[in-house]
Amino acid sequence: MKVGIIGLPNIGKSSLFNLLTKANAQVANFPFTTIDRNVGMATIPDERLMKIVEITKSSKVRFASIEFIDIAGLIKNAYKGDGLGNKFLAHIRDVHLIIHLLRCFTNPDIPHTDSDIVPQRDYEIVRTELFLADLEIVERRIERIKKKAECREEMNQLCKMKEDINRGKIPDETVADLPLLLTKPEIIVLNLDEDGKFKNGVDGYRCSVKLEEDILEFEEKEKEELRKDSGLNPRGLSGLIGLCLEKLSMILFYTIKGEEARAWPVKDSTKVVDAAGMIHSDMKEGFIKAEVLNYVDFMKAEGFAQAQHLGLTKIEGKEYIVQDGDIILIKFRA
Ligand SMILES: Nc1nc2c(ncn2[C@@H]2O[C@H](COP(=O)(O)OP(=O)(O)OP(=O)(O)O)[C@@H](O)[C@H]2O)c(=O)[nH]1
Ligand SMILES: [Mg+2]
């Protein structure tokens, strides 16, 4: 699963990306610093896994991760090729979730595309580019099929979509294989001053990239206090990663094997046999059964073996749907 960070130029996208992924993407005080996209993995903060390890004393701990993509800044008419052209469209098409970052910090030394800071206007500029890009895709498809009688049903659907997009509405239903940008889930993130004071009238996840950079080395408790004092989301970027998982309908399951405890991200409603396939293809092919223990019961029993002894583990077949927090032991034929 991929999360793309989009927004106007010079608003802190790469700075946010670096904080999330601990990468070292170029950050500079001028527009279009990012030309090609940056790709990196962010560790999913996981208190449950840390608690599991306190009990198992596993020497190897592997957190789950999620991919972030830092996309070049968009400006008006980007869909036509202005700014850095429309290569960004392909990059956005590639992601499953969009983080739309809005500049809400006021520092006059950082140039903005407009002279004043109006996040609602900035939001609409970028959204308009997505609308126009989608309109072009729909129109191109209409051109392609307009002479084909057998495509009448699709044509009706496309015309309805075109009408919706023209009215600034996200189409309710789309033609299956049309790679629209507007239908992707989105999280609006506000990049505020360290004091969080700027009044902007836009709802979104409140964070301050600058504050996060300044407090990087602080204790988690202290960070939370500082964020709270500034009216920012107390959970900072960990909370943002959590929100991404939620929006993507992703859950975590765990394996404890030998010296390793590990978290795995999967889509909710994943069957256990497919989850087994993520661990190893042999486990899917030779799947016999799964022994499943929920995290809550693991903590109650203080260990997997103890939980087995208390009869808290359950034996499940291929079709079992993995639940968030499940600790899973796969039995398979090698
Ligand atoms: N005061 C302040 N400055 C910030 C904040 N976030 C980023 N900056 C600064 O803004 C400038 C641009 O940051 P980048 O992270 O390169 O922005 P970008 O959106 O990736 O820019 P492009 O790649 O050019 O589109 C840098 O000088 C950052 O240090 C913030 O929260 N507050
Ligand atoms: Mg950048």
Distance 82 CA to ligand 2 centre (A): 17
> What pLDDT is stored for residue 88 in this prediction?
78
CATH code, 328: 3.10.20.30
Spacing, Cα 80 to ligand 1 middle (Å): 25
- Residue 264 covered by a domain: no
Q: For tokens 């486990």, name the residue.
A: 283
Range of the structural domain that residue 312 is part of = 269-332
Q: Domain for residue 319, yes or no?
A: yes
Alpha-carbon span 115 to 110, nearest angstrom: 11
**In-domain check, residue 71:** no
pTM of this prediction? Answer: 0.92
Q: Amino acid identity, residue 105?
A: F
**pLDDT category of residue 84 using cuts at 50, 70 and 90:** low
Give dist(CA 104, CA 220) in Å, integer. Answer: 24
Strand 2-6 with 65-70, pairing: parallel
* Nearest residue to 182 (alpha-carbon basis) of 141, 240, 138: 138
What b/e readout covers 191-221, taking b as 16+ CB neighbours within 10 angstroms? bbbbebebebeeebbbbbbbbbeebeeeeee
Position with higher pLDDT, 178 vs 98: 98
Residue of 29, 110, 215 with the most ligand 1 atoms within 8 Å of its CB, for mutation = 110
Which residues are in the CB-under-5-Å shell of ion ligand 2? 13-14, 33-34
SS3 of residue 204 by DSSP: coil
Question: Residue 323 falls within a domain, yes or no?
Answer: yes
Q: Does the pLDDT at position 82 exceed 80? A: no
Whole-number Cα distances in Å, 308 to 27, 87, 137, 298, 331 = 52, 54, 55, 9, 15
Q: How far is ligand 2, taken at its centre, from the CA of residue 248, in Å? A: 24
pLDDT of residue 85: 63
Nearest residue (by CA) to ligand 1, atom 30, is 210
Q: Higher confidence at residue 82 or residue 137?
A: 137
Atom of ligand 1 at shortest distance to CA of 107? 1
What are 283-289's contacts with CB under 8 Å, separation 24+?
283/330, 283/332, 285/332, 286/332, 286/333, 286/334, 287/318, 287/330, 287/332, 288/331, 288/332, 288/333, 289/315, 289/316, 289/317, 289/331
In a domain, 103, yes or no: no
> What's the domain count of the chain?
1
The pick from 8, 11, 214 for probing ligand 1's pocket by mutation, whose C-beta has the most ligand atoms within 8 angstroms, reads 11
pLDDT interval class at 83 (50, 70, 90): low
Task: Choose among 300, 256, 307: nearest CA to 56.
Answer: 256
Alpha-carbon distance 46 to 62, whole Å? 10
Q: For residue 325, is it within any domain?
A: yes
- Nearest CA to 267 out of 281, 280, 253 is that of 253
pLDDT score recorded for residue 178: 87
Mean pLDDT of the chain: 92
| pLDDT tens digits, one per residue of 120-148 | 999 999 999 899 989 998 999 999 888 88
Residue 294 lies in a domain: yes
Q: Please name the residue ranges forming H helices in 39-118.
A: 47-56, 87-93
pLDDT average, residue stretch 260-284: 96
Cβ 314 vs Cβ 292: under 8 Å: yes
Q: Which two tokens stand for residue 107?
A: 């520092």
Lowest-confidence segment of 149-153, 158-162, 221-225, 330-334 by average pLDDT: 149-153
For ligand 1, residues with CB inside 6 Å are 9-15, 27-29, 31-34, 73, 105, 107, 110, 191, 208-210
Identify whether 304 is part of a domain.
yes
Ligand 1 centre from 164 Cα, in Å?
35
User: Residue 113 has what pLDDT?
Assistant: 80
Q: What is the pLDDT of residues 217-262, one digit of tens each?
A: 999 999 999 999 999 999 999 999 999 999 999 999 999 998 999 9
The amino acid present at 220, given as its one-letter code, is E
